Amino acid sequence: MEDMTQLQNEEAAVQRGRLLAPGMYDLNDLEIGDHFVTSGMTLTEAHIVNYAGVSGDMYDIHLDDVAAQQAGFSGRIAHGLLGLALTDGLKTRSPVRMSALATLGWNWSFRAPLHIGDRIQVEIEVVGKRVTKRIDRGIATLKLRVLNQLGNVVQDGETLLLMQNRA
């Protein structure tokens, strides 16, 4: 059974496409299935407090351990949108760089809470691409999975990225 699981994982990796090396990629450089993993970062209390101040979201489960525990959590949890913001930051600072012009949208799910001390990193895969009316631009669809230090998916979804495209 273990050999079958390993074989399935290897087949999935082959079907996925290339593991992208560090460098700058425009739309023409990308292929469906290309993928990479970002570096990681540890979520701190400062992230949560600063995000609450910037966003104005002072909801108790983010700032009060007792309120979070009464809501069924082990302690304060991060704002879901903070997790998304950190995800975008990890993507942007990755050694695998996309010639991005703008993010066009997100389709996002919050699967599990993010706790102070959690270390996250992001798996990113190219799942679609197309040229726009302007041939020097295109749109890549990226699938992202945010993993915590235990390998659990805490957030996931897709983003549309407007990119430069070599004519």
Q: What is the pLDDT of residues 74-99, one digit of tens each?
A: 999 999 999 999 999 999 999 999 99
Q: How confident is the model at residue 132 (pLDDT cuts 50, 70, 90)?
A: very high
CATH superfamily label, 16-164 = Hotdog Thioesterase (3.10.129.10)
Q: Specify which residues 145 forms β-bridges with.
A: 123, 156
pLDDT given at position 144: 98
What is the arithmetic mean of pLDDT over 104-122? 98
Q: What is the pLDDT of residues 22-59, one digit of tens each?
A: 999 999 999 999 999 999 999 999 999 999 999 999 99
Given a cut of 80, whether residue 62 has pLDDT beyond it is yes
Given a cut of 70, whether residue 141 has pLDDT beyond it is yes
Q: Which of 37, 43, 28, 21 is nearest to 143 (CA)?
A: 37
pTM of the model: 0.88
**Tokens coding 101:** 């012009």
- Please state the domain extents for the chain: 16-164
DSSP string over 107-164: EEEE-S--BTT-EEEEEEEEEEEEE-SSTTEEEEEEEEEEE-TTS-EEEEEEEEEEEE
d(C-alpha 51, C-alpha 56), whole Å: 8
Output the CA–CA distances (angstroms, integers) from residue 92 to 50, 85, 135, 139, 157, in the order listed: 20, 11, 24, 16, 16
